[in-house]
A and B are shown apart, each in its own frame.
Chain A
Amino acid sequence: MQVEKERGFTDMAGSNGYTITKKESLANSIYLMDVKAPRVSKNCYPGQFVIVKMDEKGERIPLTICDYDREAETVTIVFQAIGTSTQMMAQYEVGEEFRDFTGPLGHRSELIDMNREELSDLKILFVAGGVGAAPVYPQVKWMKENGYEVDVIIGARNKELIILEDRMKEYAKNCYIATDDGSYGFHGNVNDCIKDLVNNQAKHYDLVVAIGPMIMMKFVSILTKELGIKTIVSMNPVMVDGTGMCGACRLTIGDQVKFACVDGPEFDGHLVNFDEAMKRVQMYKTEEGKKVLREKEDTEHHPNCGCH
């Protein structure tokens, strides 16, 4: 399915936009882009996210920061072109501009603010699932650059969907690859790989940072709870403003309601109510949600749309 980027750049007259300085295809339908955004680049850290709005009519799309270059004043984003908006985003090329690029939003990784001695005592395993390798990468890089060695698992359905492997290997002490179909690296999902490392290879970890699809983070959290390893996950629920205003991203963490945008996006994986979060993230994707939207679209210009 291809979506046409038919809208052009009519509202870019003032050229206050955010220019794409680099575009790279990481895998089938997964793209990396460097975007010039001086204010974001200056103050962002691993763990935080940005909101991209492509043009006047676009959605506000939250994307976790994959990297940043303070000198070049750029921020790196990685996205999978699966929805209408991200497919349109995939058609932007170097030199073109996004209308809006806001951030950094959310809290930075708690590792960055941790006591350095405490941090050097921790044996950390990062677990990246699919596109989740993008937000894991800057954390691994930051750890290495600050003198801490960490292990990483990159998991995906198959070899084609493994991304950022070379970059990750540059900064990780050990980088394990796991594919569900066994087409590359360890044959099995990330949980099988964690079990193998802990049970068969006598690896010991004090902390797991797991970022990927919610279903993966859920099962990693269940496993690490059994194994008694503290676990941090990065939540990616539906958002509108990303600054605490709408509450669309609310999650149940333990017995409290938290907003992923301002309280997170990283939380204790053992406290997250994943089942609720997974239902909420489907709100505009489930049959019921789609039906509502379809009904709206069916009438084409429903009597209230105000565009005629």
Chain B
Amino acid sequence: MEDRDRMDILKKVPVSEQDPKVRATNFEEVCYGYNIDEAKEEASRCIQCKNPKCVGGCPVSIDIPGFIQEVVNNDIEEAFKVISKYSSLPAVCGRVCPQESQCEERCIRGIKGDPVSIGKLERYVADWAREHNITPDKPEKLNGTKVAVIGAGPAGLTCAGDLAKMGYDVTIFEALHEPGGVLVYGIPEFRLPKDTVVKTEIDNVKSLGVKIETNVVIGKSMTIDELMDEEGFEAVFIGSGAGLPKFMGIPGENANGVFSANEYLTRNNLMKAFDNNHDTPIIAGKKVAVVGGGNVAMDAARTALRLGAEVYIVYRRGEEELPARVEEVHHAKEEGIIFKLLTNPKEILVNDNGWVCGMRCIEMELGEPDASGRRSPIEKKDSEFVLELDTVIMSLGTSPNPLISSTTKGLDVNRYKCIIADEETGITSREGVFAGGDAVTGAATVILAMGAGKAAAIGIDNYLKTK
């Protein structure tokens, strides 16, 4: 590494990826990750700040310089142990966290060059641990106190894992037939492999002693009152996510061939419709428009592309305003997704048989910033045009499912049906009931949900200790 010149050290070690032309036709992972030499070289770029700013950018406060130093030392197992103290899902986070706006954004290296690729290093360590069958240390002492966690997504898995490490007897109740939440139904295989990465990290949480009961819809199969009064759970954490898809309310939206991104992705990811050995069908479409500009929209678009469609992203604001991660937009463009920016749908056109045949759109321009701080889009006069399509995927965001809040007395929600919970502790209006993640904030990121699960685990521990 001594032979790297001064300019080189300012640049991160590039990571190898699957060729865009090839990957546009398969569901294999896009990014290959670092090998040991690349990881060590990248790790050596960390200057081991005394007051590391990166840690403050991490919602679960991983000791980033600590694990990176172990990579430099070539002790990857120790690096994994450092990360495992803070995170139960490092192989997931190394792949899907928006590091560019969190840890890496604050990296001192970033002032004069590229920040250290913390995410890629985290991924390397977690993948190495998986390949070498390293699992997190088991809790030393059990206290026998029962805690229920609702939802086996990022918030629930993190909260459960942390509570198990403290010695609690934790059961997760999951509504679907597989644990993982958005990690299994939402994020596609090519960004987050299920059988290897997700399953292993869930198994790691189970190896801490956490029980997972699938097919239990809290609010329907059982209420929170029953959990606490009849099944002996002393505290409950709600991490049920934001599952309800939004639609635009424009004409033609119920036509055949219009799907929510949730439906399209669930069929493909959870039900594995892309694989003909599985029974669930998917109508992939030949010419597909995905309406929206977030990460979910990119996932839906890139899924449709891989299923053989020509795909448009239709988004009412401009490139700058796209809420998706830059990396996802970049990957989507590389693969051949066509971006129709500053464009808003007005109506979905339907043929005589009830199927989508096009979408009437209007061009937009940006006006003054609105309440969200983003410049608000305004319709351009006389700019309507028709996009010929056979499939439309609505990716406009999701809101929390009211199944739990509507069946739990004394649990306050705000006007968006989000559960009201304290950010620091997860405490809700109902004693012994804690909440965090998308169920509280509305749709956000995996790592923010994990941060909330972590905070609530501490909140629950404090509550049960003083009860």
Q: CB within 8 Å of B: which residues of A?
A: 16, 39-40, 42-43, 53, 57-60, 84-85, 99-105, 240-241, 243-248, 250-252, 257, 262, 276, 279-280, 282-284, 286, 288-289, 292-293, 296-297, 300-307
A100 touches B215 (CB 8 A): yes
- B355 interface contact, C-beta 8 A: yes
Contact count A vs B, C-beta below 8 Å: 150
Instruction: Decide yes or no: A244 and B244 within 8 Å by CB, A283-B283, A288-B353, A296-B276 being known contacts.
Output: yes
Q: A94 CA to B25 CA in the complex, in Å?
A: 43
Given A59-B279, A304-B274, the answer on whether A102 and B221 have CB atoms closer than 8 Å is yes
Q: Known contacts A60-B280, A292-B284, A296-B276; decide if A105 and B177 are in contact (CB<8 Å).
A: no
Contact assessment for A102 and B254 in the assembled complex, using a CB-CB cutoff below 8 Å: no
Contact assessment for A103 and B245 in the assembled complex, using a CB-CB cutoff below 8 Å: no
Among B27, B247, B283, the most chain A Cβ lie within 10 Å of the Cβ of B283
Taking CB atoms, residues of chain A closer than 8 Å to B217 are: 102-103, 105, 243
When the two chains form their complex, are residues A39 and B279 in contact, meaning their CB atoms are under 8 A apart?
A: no
Cβ-defined contact, B243 with A243, below 8 A: yes
Q: Is the CB of B189 within 8 A of A306?
A: yes
Asked if residues A247 and B260 are in contact (CB atoms below 8 Å), the reply is yes
Given contacts A100-B215, A252-B254, contact A304 B27 (CB under 8 A): yes
Taking a contact as CB atoms under 8 Å apart, the answer to whether A59 and B266 are in contact is: no
List of B residues within 8 angstroms of A301 by Cβ = 276
Q: Within residues 305 to 347 of chain B, which ones have a CB less than 8 A from any CB in chain A?
A: 306-308
**Per-position 1/0 for B271-300, Cβ under 8 A of A:** 110111111110111000000000000000
User: Shortest CB–CB separation between residue A279 and chain B, in angstroms?
Assistant: 4
CB distance from A53 to the nearest CB of B (A): 5
**Contact of B283 (CB < 8 Å), options: A102, A251, A257, A289:** A289
Residue of A nearest to B354 (CB): A279
CA distance A307 to B273 in the complex (A): 11
CA distance A241 to B254 in the complex (A): 18
| A101 and B267 contacting across the interface, CB-CB below 8 Å | no
CB contacts under 8 Å to A, within B242-263, are 243-245, 247, 249, 253-254, 256-257, 259-260, 262-263
Q: Tell me the smallest distance from the CB of B57 to a CB of chain A, in Å.
A: 31
Give the docked Cα–Cα distance between A59 and B267 (Å): 10
CB atoms of A244 and B243 under 8 A apart: yes
A–B complex contacts, Cβ < 8 Å, 6 sampled:
A84-B279, A243-B403, A246-B260, A247-B259, A292-B283, A292-B285
CB-CB under 8 A for A103 and B256, given A241-B266, A279-B354: no
Check if A244 sits within 8 Å of B401, measured CB to CB: yes
Q: Of the candidates B243, B244, B266, B277, which one forms a contact with A307 in the assembled complex, judged by CB atoms under 8 Å apart?
A: B277
How many B residues touch A, CB cutoff 8 Å? 53
CA distance A46 to B280 in the complex (A): 28
Name which residue of chain B comes closest to A251, CB basis.
B254
Complex: A104 Cα to B285 Cα, angstroms: 33
List residues of chain B with CB under 8 Å of any chain A CB.
25-28, 175-177, 185, 189, 214-217, 220-222, 243-245, 247, 249, 253-254, 256-257, 259-260, 262-263, 266-267, 271-272, 274-281, 283-285, 306-308, 353-355, 401-403
In the complex, what distance in Å separates the CA atom of A257 from the CA atom of B252? Answer: 12
Contact residues in B for A286 (Cβ distance below 8 Å): 256, 353
Do A39 and B276 touch (CB < 8 A)? no
A102 adjacent to B256 (CB under 8 Å)? no
B176's closest neighbor in chain A, by CB? Answer: A241
A287 to chain B, nearest CB (A): 8
Docked Cα-Cα span, A247 to B284, in Å, equals 17
- Beyond A284-B283, A304-B25, whether A240 also contacts B263 by CB under 8 A is yes
Give which listed residue, B243, B266, B281, B402, contacts A293 with CB less than 8 A: B281
- Other than the known A39-B216, A40-B221, A246-B263, what 19 A-B pairs have Cβ atoms closer than 8 Å? A53-B177, A57-B272, A58-B279, A59-B271, A240-B266, A240-B267, A241-B175, A241-B266, A243-B175, A243-B220, A244-B244, A250-B254, A257-B254, A286-B353, A297-B276, A304-B25, A304-B307, A304-B308, A307-B276
Closest to B226 in A: A43
Given A53-B177, A243-B403, A303-B25: A39 touches B283 (CB 8 Å cut-off): no
**A280 neighbours in B (Cβ, 8 Å):** 254, 256, 354
**Which one, B175, B272, B280, B307, contacts A240 given CB within 8 A?**
B280
The reply to whether B283 and A306 contact each other, CB–CB distance below 8 Å, is: no
Please, which residues of chain B bring their CB within 8 A of the CB of A43? 220-222
Of B26, B253, B266, which is within 8 A of A246 by CB? B266
Q: Which residues of B contact A297 (CB under 8 A)?
A: 276
Across-interface contacts of B220 in A (CB, < 8 A)? 43, 103-105, 243
Contacts of A293 in B (CB 8 A): 281, 283
Picked from B176, B279, B403, the residue with its CB within 8 Å of the CB of A85 is B279
**When the two chains form their complex, are residues A248 and B259 in contact, meaning their CB atoms are under 8 A apart?**
yes
**Shortest Cβ-Cβ A-B pairs, 7 listed:** A279-B354, A246-B263, A100-B177, A247-B260, A245-B243, A102-B215, A306-B27
Q: Contacts A245-B244, A245-B262, A279-B354 known; A300 to B276 CB distance under 8 Å?
A: yes
- Whether A103 pairs with B221 at a CB distance below 8 angstroms is yes
Contact A257 B247 (CB under 8 A): yes
Measured in the bound complex, the distance between the Cα atoms of B275 and A305 in whole Å is: 5
Residues of B within 8 A of A245 (CB): 185, 243-245, 262, 266, 401
Cα A262 to Cα B189 in complex, Å, equals: 28
The smallest C-beta distance from B467 to any residue of chain A, in angstroms, reads 27
Do residues B262 and A59 form an inter-chain contact, with CB atoms below 8 A?
Answer: no
Complexed CA–CA distance, A302 and B278 (Å): 14
Bound Cα distance A280, B356 (Å): 12
Which chain B residues border A262 with CB–CB below 8 Å?
401-403
Complex Cα spacing A79 to B114, Å: 60
Complex: chain A residue closest to B221, CB-CB: A39
Q: How long is the Cα–Cα vector from A301 to B276 in the complex, in angstroms?
A: 7
Q: Check A60 against B306 for contact (C-beta < 8 Å).
A: no
Closest to A252 in B: B254
Note all chain B residues with C-beta closer than 8 A to A105.
217, 220
B278 partner residues in chain A, CB cutoff 8 A? 57
Known interface pairs A247-B247, A247-B260; A60-B25 also in contact (CB < 8 Å): no
* A251 proximity list for chain B (CB < 8 A): 254
CB distance from A134 to the nearest CB of B (A): 20
Residues of A within 8 A of B176 (CB): 241, 243
Interface hub of A248, A276, A280 (most chain B Cβ within 10 A): A248
Cβ-defined contact, A306 with B243, below 8 A? no
User: Min CB distance, A58 to chain B, in Å?
Assistant: 5
Contact check, A240 vs B276: say whether CB atoms are below 8 A apart: no
Assuming the contacts A240-B267, A304-B274, A304-B307, asked whether A104 and B221 have C-beta atoms less than 8 A apart, the reply is yes
| Distance in angstroms between the alpha carbons of A250 and B258 in the assembled complex | 11
Within the complex, the shortest CB–CB distance from B91 to chain A, in Å, comes to 20
Cα–Cα, bound, A262→B308 (Å):
33
Chain A residue numbers with a CB within 8 Å of B216 are 39, 102
Give Cα A292 to B307, complex, Å.
11
Tell me the minimal C-beta distance from B196 to chain A in angstroms: 13
Flag if B262 contacts A304 (CB, 8 Å): no
B177 touches A246 (CB 8 A): no
